[in-house]
Amino acid sequence: MSDIQTPPVSIFPHRLNRRMVALITAALLVVGCAVVCVGALLTALLQSAPPLPVTIIVGSTARQAVTHAATVADLLNEAGVAVNAGDNVTPPLSSPITPHLLVRVERSRPVTITVDGVPQTLQTTFANPFDILKSVGVTVGAYDRVQVDGTAASLIQLLVWPVPATQINVQHAATVRINDGSRERTIQTTSATIGEALFEAGVTLYLADTVTPDINTPITGDTTVTIQRSRPVTIIADGVSLETRSQGTTVASALTDAGVTLLGLDYSIPAEDSPLRPGMHIRVIRVTETVEARQDVIPFETVYQADANLELDQRRVLQEGQNGIRRTNIRIRYENGSEVSREEESSAVVSEPVNRVVAYGTRIVLRTIDTPEGPREYWRKLRMYATIYYPEALGGDATTATGRKLTKGVVASDPDVIPYGTQLYVPDYGVGVMADTGMPTSRLWIDLGYDDDNWIPWSRWVEVYLLTPVPEEINYLLPYTD
């Protein structure tokens, strides 16, 4: 079968007569004129249309304007507002202008972010450090260390940071695998060195232990640390039992590792060349001299500090006291195993005592006590041990220390506690005046005065209310109360 080829068919006729050409030309001229007219009409409408009211907010400054601008970009350009890199414009620059449109420009600011020692500076409109880190794709884990403007911050604190951040430092935690003999563990740390990471993990190291890599090696990424433990031994020397460790093979090497030196006729049990075994006890025998250390306690003192925010007669311990320690070295000389002399070689304060600091209140609060004669205002309440006295009990002497006559309503106490002339109230006794004194005791006390004919036996603890007015001089730190 032979292929049959069909000639292409054109959508236009091969020939156009002159009349058809004339009609087409006329139609094109009409369409062109219409387009020109419509464009001119639109331009005229835009120019004659009233301007649209808008509001422009730049930072915290707002202003009103009217404009013929077509887009937000045209509006800002018309208003002379430059848009800098990193600024945030709402709505976008390409948005059309509508009546009463609110255009907001948030200015960016420079922020420096240092991630794992690599700094970068960016322009951003964010103030919150969490948002800033998120905007540049920096994630922070629970073990990572973050500082905002020099202050350490947790993940929660990043979310509620109160002021705009300018410098953010992020140190991502590294994974450190610790092989400690038969024990293995993994930690996440931002420590700078192997030693700091082990300390942070609570790993106890002895001087004779071997750590690979070295404890001073910087941590630059995920790291594996191997600890080779030494043998535990106990060395008894110079009256001191020293529990130490050594990786040596003999008693001599253990003594060397512990810094114990044998001089002259000194020797050890077992001997220096004996093989070292874990748990071995080594005794060092001195033939000449030993040095004995003695520690003495230096007692601390108690100091008092006024506190205007604390109410009168209240106390608060601001700092607990701590005894100091004085260390004295005693050199003991032996000859043929017998002591022949003993002398103090040196004495030094190892730790200074720390004073106990107690705050006492100086703030006076006025209160009211109901009495049989009506309410009375008082400024201090003391618990005191009350006794009574009367002229006959004093051999007929009715004259007080202030010259008043001893009668009911006259009381005696320590004038350093209750100033002379102070009015006071004692339940079951009544109102009195401080006008006499007596022999001081080791407690707060008060003697209630009576006449010879109406005294009542007293011997008990009572509440004593010091009535207003408040005296000019007050003993804020009462005795007998510690």
186 domain-assigned: yes
- CATH number of the CATH domain containing 69: 3.10.20
36 domain-assigned: no
Pair (399, 429) in one structural domain: yes
- Separation of first and last alpha carbons in the chain: 130
Pair (301, 322) in one structural domain: yes
Write down which residue in 155, 171, 187 finishes a domain: 171
Q: Which residue has the tokens 């973050």?
A: 146
Pair (259, 316) in one structural domain: no
- Can you give the residue range of the structural domain that contains 73? 52-106
Pair (389, 463) in one structural domain: yes
Write down which residue in 135, 151, 171 finishes a domain: 171
pLDDT at 481: 65
Count of C-beta atoms within a 10 Å radius of residue 406: 23
pLDDT at 138: 92
Compute the distance between CA of residue 454 and CA of residue 452 in angstroms, rounded to an integer.
Answer: 6
Largest CA distance in the chain: 164
Query: Token pair for residue 166?
Result: 């300018």
Pair (256, 209) in one structural domain: no
CA angle, corner 369, sides to 365 and 372, nearest 5?
Answer: 160
Q: Taking Cα atoms as reference points, which of 469, 388, 384 lies closest to residue 422?
A: 469
Pair (152, 178) in one structural domain: no
- 8 A C-beta contact, residue 447 and residue 422: no
- DSSP characters over 100-145: TEEEEEEPPEEEEEEETTEEEEEEES--SHHHHHHHTT----TT-E
9 domain-assigned: no
Single pTM value for the model: 0.39
- CATH number of the CATH domain containing 456: 2.40.40.10
pLDDT at 243: 87
Which residues, in sequence order, are bridge partners of residue 436?
Answer: 412
Write down which residue in 359, 383, 416 finishes a domain: 359
Q: What is the enclosing helix (H) or strand (E) of 18?
A: helix 18-48
pLDDT at 28: 47
Pair (410, 462) in one structural domain: yes
Please enumerate in sequence order all residues whose Cβ is within 8 A of that of 475, keeping only pairs 6 or more positions apart, or say none. 416, 417, 419
- CATH number of the CATH domain containing 165: 3.10.20.30
- 8 A C-beta contact, residue 361 and residue 311: yes
Give the total number of structural domains in the chain: 6
4 domain-assigned: no
475 domain-assigned: no
472 domain-assigned: no
Pair (349, 418) in one structural domain: no
202 domain-assigned: yes
Pair (390, 461) in one structural domain: yes
pLDDT at 143: 87
pLDDT in tens, the chain (482 residues): 334 343 443 333 434 445 553 554 455 454 444 444 444 544 454 456 799 999 999 877 998 989 999 999 998 898 888 888 788 899 998 999 999 899 998 888 899 999 988 999 988 988 889 998 988 899 888 888 998 999 998 888 888 899 899 999 998 889 999 998 778 989 888 888 999 888 988 898 887 788 999 989 999 888 999 988 888 899 988 778 988 888 888 999 889 988 898 888 888 889 999 998 988 999 888 887 788 889 999 999 999 999 999 999 999 999 999 999 999 999 887 876 778 788 888 999 999 999 999 999 999 999 999 999 999 999 999 999 999 999 998 999 999 999 999 999 999 999 989 999 999 999 999 999 999 997 777 789 999 999 999 999 989 999 999 999 999 889 999 876 66
Query: Token pair for residue 30?
Result: 């009409």
pLDDT at 329: 93
- CATH number of the CATH domain containing 303: 2.20.230.10
Pair (242, 299) in one structural domain: no
- 8 A C-beta contact, residue 383 and residue 389: no
Pair (186, 153) in one structural domain: no
Which residues, in sequence order, are bridge partners of residue 390?
Answer: none
pLDDT at 366: 97
428 domain-assigned: yes
